[in-house]
Structure 1
Amino acid sequence: MIKTQDGLRKPTIFEAFCYFVLSLLINATGNGLTVAANMGSSMWTASAANIAHDFNFSIAWVLVIYGASQILINIALTRQIDLPRILGNVVFISFFGPFVSLFKTFFIALGVPQLPIVAVIFLDILGIFLVGIAVSIYQRLNLILHPGDEMTNILRFRYFNGNAKLAQWVNFSIPAAVMLLLVISFHQLVAVNIGTAVALLFQGTIINYADQYVFPSLTHRL
């Protein structure tokens, strides 16, 4: 919804399209930065990387399986099968990976991995912040979501009274538990660094602040 002087109104098709495309660009830029910097990314990505490493699987397939699992969890949380939203989840999963890969290739070509370590860490954390801002925008639109972000939205508004930080921590508890089991079983951990810690501790807070200060007239369409 869009705040106006007269109250709330639905965004026009053009407005919704612009917000959504912008959020995808910001998200792909942020994820591309974290992957190119290789200093840690979100919990789900790190968890998928560990499964792929320990079992010699393709991380692309692990992420697809994770996405399908998140869809099933969302069905359990909402206790309903919403086919249009599930189709939107599948579309998001199918196209977002290549989009991120394009930005990753772009930032690697720019030489991000060869920058001084302080600059690489800064860019990695910047990527985490950009992801949080993007998630805030398309969660407020609530049109087509990645199933992991939809899970956070469901937890936030159905179970935790709008608390994005708590919802994000509960969401991240699943990949954290997977990584803990893998560490116990295989005695190694990959793809976890400062960016992972920043995402775990602050991504919910970033989403909260972005809700207030990034396009504040755009409110949640529940």
Structure 2
Amino acid sequence: MGSGLWTAAAINLNDWQGWNIGAVLFTFGVLNALTNLILIHHWDWPRLIGEIIYTLFFSYFVNVFTWVFTWLGLGSWSVLARIFVSCFGVFCFCVAISLYQRANIIMHPNDDTTNILRFLYFKGNATASQIADFIPPIIVAIVAWIATGKLLGINVATVFSFLGNGVIIAWADEHVWPQLKHNFKVTPDGQA
């Protein structure tokens, strides 16, 4: 019933260029980790290395979960059941993003980007930062769509994710373990 926008962009690149989805997600992650260093205005080796390691595991776990969901026959479930499972999955990962953004120990580069954008550029607005982070994969998906005439991996859950990620993350910040506060730090010169 659709995937996250970064994954949808990878699916569309796979269809257009034949590139492995896991490899594309890893490449997106590395590029995003490097972008984060530009956004925080200084080189941070621990952040970069941690994000690349996180991306390495995440990008290939996508392939594992795809296999598990295929094995479970999720694709043959009713449309309503698939919509529910997909949207519930989006809800769950948004709550998880809220928790680990507040812990701010090690994050996927895309989630770190939204955290950086949120606190350095969007005055704490989770929704605006999430939508800004979605601009690059939307552009990639559109370019692939123009090249192939097909738009894959985008459905109800993708729209739910686009519209709801920031809202759910902000909600979870207040309602799921609210004692855990954001420890995102900015130095006096504006660096994270």
TM-score higher than 0.5? yes
Alignment counterpart, residue 112 of structure 1, candidates 71, 74, 79 = 74
Q: Alpha carbons of 1:40 and 1:77: their partners in 2 closer, same or farther (altered >3 Å)?
A: same
The aligned counterpart of 1:53 is 15
The aligned counterpart of 1:83 is 45
Alignment counterpart, residue 89 of structure 2, candidates 127, 133, 144 = 127
Instruction: Give, as a single letter, the amino acid of the residue that structure 2 aligns with 1:193.
Output: N
Q: CA shift at 1:172, angstroms?
A: 0.2
Instruction: Give, as a single letter, the amino acid of the residue that structure 1 aligns with 2:84.
Output: F
Instruction: Give, as a single letter, the amino acid of the residue that structure 2 aligns with 1:139.
Output: Q
5+ long unaligned stretches in structure 2: 185-192
The aligned counterpart of 2:137 is 175
Question: Is 1:211 the counterpart of 2:162 in the alignment?
Answer: no
| Conserved 8 A contact 2:11-2:21 | yes
Q: CA shift at 1:189, angstroms?
A: 1.0
The aligned counterpart of 1:187 is 149
Aligned equivalents of 1:77, 1:124: Cα separation in 2: 32
State the 4+ residue runs in structure 1 displaced beyond 6 angstroms: none
Aligned equivalents of 2:71, 2:15: Cα separation in 1: 25
Aligned equivalents of 1:139, 1:53: Cα separation in 2: 32
Aligned equivalents of 2:75, 2:2: Cα separation in 1: 13
Q: CA shift at 1:103, angstroms?
A: 4.1
Provide the aligned length of Structure 1 versus Structure 2: 184
5+ long unaligned stretches in structure 1: 1-38
**Could you say what secondary structure the match of 2:182 adopts?**
coil
**Could you say what secondary structure the match of 1:189 adopts?**
coil
Aligned equivalents of 1:67, 1:110: Cα separation in 2: 28
Question: Is 1:153 the counterpart of 2:81 in the alignment?
Answer: no
Aligned alpha-carbon RMSD (Å): 1.4
What's the TM-score, normalizing by structure 2?
Answer: 0.90
Q: CA shift at 1:100, angstroms?
A: 4.3
Alignment counterpart, residue 220 of structure 1, candidates 182, 189, 192 = 182
Aligned equivalents of 1:107, 1:49: Cα separation in 2: 16
The aligned counterpart of 1:197 is 159
| Conserved 8 A contact 2:25-2:59 | no
Identity across aligned pairs (percent)? 39
Aligned equivalents of 2:143, 2:52: Cα separation in 1: 28
What's the TM-score, normalizing by structure 1?
Answer: 0.78
Q: CA shift at 1:131, angstroms?
A: 1.1
